[in-house]
Amino acid sequence: MGEAPVLFGDDLQGSISNGYHLKLKEYESAIVVGNKTYVIGEFDDPASNGVRVFDKSTREWVIPMVLGTKPNGFMGCSMMLLNNDRILIIKHNTKSSDCVWFLEVDTQFVQEQKKKFGTEVVCWSKGVIGDAERPIVISGPSGVGKGTLINMLMEEFPAMFGFSVSHTTRAPREKEQNGVHYHFTNRDVMEEEIKAGKFLEFASVHGNLYGTSIEAVDVVADAGKRCILDIDVQGARSVRASSLEAIFIFICPPSFEELEKRLRARGTETEELIQKRLNNAKAELEQGTSSGLFDHILVNDDLDACYERLKKILGLDGSTDTTLKTPTEVFALPTEMSLSKIDDKIIMNSENADQKIVLDLSCMKGGAPGRTRGLRMYPADLRTDDNTNGSV
């Protein structure tokens, strides 16, 4: 992230420097972005949903469509505009693990949503401290063994991976549990939720609607795990166009006959549904292997051999030490602070605390509609190589 214009939310409290006096309520903070003043903080007010915008050009208040999971337990914040497209928000009175949030106001994702919904849109993205492992998208025709391979990974590395539980309008199979294998829903409800912007991607597959909610991916990131998505090729294409920065793996059968054999042997579908899946498999195999969409194509011939190849792609074959992770220290933040910025580092200054705290954004990844990952946070005096004494 390059040099960005800096505005301080705290400085604007009470008197907004856009020619209008905006009276803020307790715990509200405001920041000016171009012609607009964003006021953040009244989360209990269902009318504003925590964000209201004063548009200087029309002299009107706008209640934007607010996407993403919003922060809770909000007791004021310090804010800074980054890159002219997102507001960095450091929540007061909280732990370092929950203090960094971004309200995206003009990022590519938000611009797309504004076009789609024809209205003012903002989107929350929680900042996640620590190394960012890329989510994994696994696609392939029905019956190829995606679920089997994913289960093997989750069983061998339970602390490392979390499954993105999709929504679907198809009926549950005998052993499938709601909320574990899928969120089973009906079409009307799901279509409403899609309209409300709750989905990262969705597609019609084998006559049913399937989709990944933003929350499904966030829940896994919040648990500190690497997210696995089992989605079709259309979904993979949508995710590729999103900010998720995933690794894309396509699973192929050794032959079409073998795919058919596996699908029948699984015994979960009627003959009619098997035919539908086999028909769709042809197009999926064609797109999966020729579109350039996937980073890796794996042939699931021998299951154990395929699993080993999958682990190798994910760096789990013993060639990298996956147990050595940078520990993420959790510490309390000052209740009052001002922010300054040096290159990619945000310095939290407080008169009451002896230490400055640094938020390093140099490895920042992702963003709305999911989490903003790869952030580092540490007390300034622990890293002597940091020049954190100056301010901008």
Ligand X SMILES: Nc1nc2c(ncn2[C@@H]2O[C@H](COP(=O)(O)OP(=O)(O)O)[C@@H](O)[C@H]2O)c(=O)[nH]1
Ligand Y SMILES: Nc1ncnc2c1ncn2[C@@H]1O[C@H](COP(=O)(O)OP(=O)(O)O)[C@@H](O)[C@H]1O
Measure the CA–CA gap between 352 and 316, rounded to whole angstroms: 45
Q: Characterise 28 by phi-psi region: left (phi > 0), alpha (psi -120 to 50), beta (else).
A: beta
Q: Which does 297 bind (CB under 5 to 8 A by kind): ligand Y, ligand X, none?
A: none
Question: Which residues from 191-250 bind ligand X, rule CB under 6 A?
Answer: 201, 203, 205-206, 210-212, 230-232, 234-235
Q: How far apart are the first and last CA of the chain?
A: 16
Phi and psi torsions of 75, nearest 5°? -130, 50
By CB under 6 A, residue 140 contacts ligand Y: yes
Query: Measured at the alpha carbon of residue 34, what is the angle toward residues 28 and 35, in degrees to the nearest 5?
Result: 80
173 is catalytic: yes
Q: Which does 232 bind (CB under 5 to 8 A by kind): ligand Y, ligand X, none?
A: ligand X
Give the tokens for residue 254. Answer: 């050794």
Q: Which of 86, 277, 371, 376 is catalytic?
A: 277
By CB under 6 A, residue 303 contacts ligand Y: yes
Contact 59, 24 (CB under 8 A): no
Question: Which one-letter amino acid corresponds to residue 56?
Answer: K
Contact 118, 257 (CB under 8 A): no
- Piece of the chain touching ligand Y by CB under 6 A; list 2-10, 112-120, 139-147, 211-219: 139-147
Q: Which does 86 bind (CB under 5 to 8 A by kind): ligand Y, ligand X, none?
A: none
Which residue minimizes CB distance to ligand X? 235
DSSP state of 178: B
Question: Which residues from 137-156 bind ligand X, rule CB under 6 A?
Answer: 142-143, 147
What binding mask, one character per residue, do residues 243-262 give for ligand Y by CB under 6 A, x or -? Answer: -------------------x
Q: Which does 265 bind (CB under 5 to 8 A by kind): ligand Y, ligand X, none?
A: ligand Y
Measure the CA–CA gap between 189 and 170, rounded to whole angstroms: 13
Query: 346 pairs with which residues across the strands?
Result: 341, 359
Measure the CA–CA gap between 163 and 27, rounded to whole angstroms: 36
Residue from 118, 64, 99 nearest 357 by CA: 99
Burial of 382 per CB tally in 10 Å (0-12, 13-18, 19+): exposed
DSSP state of 264: H
Phi and psi torsions of 272, nearest 5°? -60, -45
What binding mask, one character per residue, do residues 304-343 give for ligand Y by CB under 6 A, x or -? Answer: --x-------------------------------------
Q: Which is nearer to ligand X, 143 or 253 (CB)?
A: 143
Query: Measured at the alpha carbon of residue 147, what is the angle toward residues 184 and 234, in degrees to the nearest 5?
Result: 70
Residue from 311, 305, 309, 170 nearest 232 by CA: 170
Q: Which of 134, 237, 266, 309 is catalytic?
A: 266
Q: Which does 231 bind (CB under 5 to 8 A by kind): ligand Y, ligand X, none?
A: ligand X
Question: Least CB distance from residue 261 to ligand Y, whole Å?
Answer: 8
Question: Least CB distance from residue 298 to ligand Y, whole Å?
Answer: 10
Q: Which does 234 bind (CB under 5 to 8 A by kind): ligand Y, ligand X, none?
A: ligand X
Q: Which is nearer to ligand X, 111 or 280 (CB)?
A: 280
Q: Which does 144 bind (CB under 5 to 8 A by kind): ligand Y, ligand X, none?
A: ligand Y
CA-to-CA separations, 47 to 40, 70, 105, 203, 329, in angstroms, rounded: 13, 15, 19, 32, 37
- Measured N-to-C along each axis, helices 233-240 and 271-290 cross at an angle, to the nearest 10 degrees, of 40
Question: Least CB distance from residue 313 to ligand Y, whole Å?
Answer: 16
Question: Least CB distance from residue 251 to ligand Y, whole Å?
Answer: 7
At 49 the three-state DSSP class reads coil
- Piece of the chain touching ligand Y by CB under 6 A; list 90-98, 136-144, 219-227, 324-332: 136-144
Question: Which residues from 165-194 bind ligand X, rule CB under 6 A?
Answer: 166, 170
By CB under 6 A, residue 266 contacts ligand Y: yes
Question: Least CB distance from residue 295 to ligand Y, whole Å?
Answer: 18
Interacting residues toward ligand Y by CB under 6 A: 140, 142-148, 262, 265-266, 300, 303, 306
Residues that bind ligand X (CB under 6 A): 142-143, 147, 166, 170, 201, 203, 205-206, 210-212, 230-232, 234-235
Q: Which residues are catalytic?
A: 173, 266, 277
